Structure 1
């Protein structure tokens, strides 16, 4: 790798046993109309031919570099290794089984430079792994419009549990200013195996980063069809991510003007996650698990959810747990005091 000049963008691809598809991801980066980048592939101790595939590409293009993990440590550790080695003014992360449209880097970097923001995320096309069949878009269109900064509170509400009008906001792959990441001291949490992207972006926003969305789908997100339900099924891992974000907020965001509101949202988001977990437990007939979950939710959330459920049934509104319930909670209960 040329060490005399820093590239504009560092692209990081973590991979484990991706020999059959890593070539497509790399090819989509090399085809970018913005060519001033370095590509760091972090091999997470693959046991297949991944290293050979990437090595052959490196022989043809010196912008491609391979870093080897001594043992399998997970995607977050691999991304952190890439961040530690990054030299670009901007950082972009690409999953090994996903691809970019050729103009993606140029468009995203232009937004970063034109508006002075720290993170830019784009709409995504969900693509069936293996067949390339289009399955739809990741985000609701209304969220991607307007060209305004996304407040931290809105970002968290976009990932409100039980929503059926969108996928998990954590699926997005932002292009970011490396100086902002370093100044905030944020890294991917290596103990988290689901929701690490959401936690990473939210911690940056807590630390004062500015974020915008681009409405054009420039990222093709590969999905195994059998795992589609996992994008919406509640897990205790999501609850742990919520707890970690609340801890980061308390440690680094107490001076924020919206601290009390964001803290309140996170508190009720945790209860809403437990509520979804309760409903899942009942649907799957794990009744003992459901019984153990009840105390974590609280009678206030249960009451408001039941009222919201009845209202929706009476009006035949096809939606799920409504984020507008936050407004009801704010009006009815004195929960805005910091702990």
Structure 2
């Protein structure tokens, strides 16, 4: 199959004050074996050297589109604007502290093409803490169940590994159908939870049973700067219920999933 026969894949790279670690992400994008790829970068008004690094990197790469924002949109706003501008049939988030294996795009594209009913494909993820402790996360079967209700129930009742699929490849149609990620009453905390929840209501996920990317946690990770108190979790859960209520599930299933979300929150407090 020639390059022109392959579906275009868009890498969505939202960056902010990442000068100390974004080089690894950029190098892993350069190393991808899949050829039909565009890279869409949005720097969210960084105050460090990130814009200069990105400008130098993008200058010699015609498949890269770089947006240097003068005003900070926030993580959700930055991601949504980039997804709205993507041209690919498939998309993935190349988060500025992630490193992708060279066959990441090729393997996940093949997995999605092999299952027309699947909405997202993901693999195992190496999770490396700031102290060097490493774990292998497999997503705990998030999105692999046969029905929309069973997928949502498993995610709500499961462990924190629900976020692993957010490092996967998804169909561009998911963005248009969901309307992007949404801020909640607490801001951006866990905005990817209702995003992934809504996506698995649209279709099942497929999983490659091996590691294909690495997440390195640092003191400056954006997600770790968000408030994580009880109010933030309540806001996240309300946002998740809104996504469920907007779905095509029967009323009783929507009602039960909302009850399960409340039950899980009581278990956390």
* Structures share fold, TM-score greater than 0.5: yes
Of 180, 192, 197 in structure 2, the residue corresponding to residue 187 of structure 1 is 180
Structure 1: which 5+ residue stretches go unaligned? 278-339
Equivalent position of 1:275 in the other structure: 267
RMSD: 3.1
**1:158 aligns to what?**
155
Looking at structure 1, the residues matched to 215 and 147 of structure 2 have their Cα atoms a distance apart, in angstroms, of 22
Matched, 1:178 2:172: yes
Matched, 1:210 2:204: yes
Residues 12 and 92 in structure 2, CA contact (< 8 A), matched pair in contact too:
yes
Higher relative contact order (CA closer than 8 Å, sequence separation 6+): 2
What SS is found at the alignment partner of 1:102?
coil
Instruction: Give the 4+ runs in structure 1 shifted more than 4 A.
Output: 147-150, 225-231
In structure 2, what is the Cα distance between the partners aligned to 1:171 and 1:157? 14
2:263 maps to 1:263: no
Whichever of the two has the greater Rg, that structure is 1
CA separation in 2, counterparts of 1:148 and 1:243? 24
Q: CA deviation at 1:226?
A: 9.9
- Within 2, Cα distance between the matches of 1:48 and 1:268? 43
Shift of 1:109: 0.6
Distance 1:51 1:6, change over 3 A: farther
Separation in 1, partners of 2:89, 2:31: 20
1:201 equivalent among 173, 196, 199 = 196
Provide the residue aligned with 1:89 in structure 2: 89
Does structure 1 retain, via aligned residues, the 8 Å contact 2:83–2:175? no
Cα deviation for residue 7 of structure 1 reads 6.4
Q: Secondary structure at the match of 1:217?
A: strand
Corresponding residue for 1:299?
A: none
Gaps of 5+ in 2: none
Match of 1:136 in 2: 135
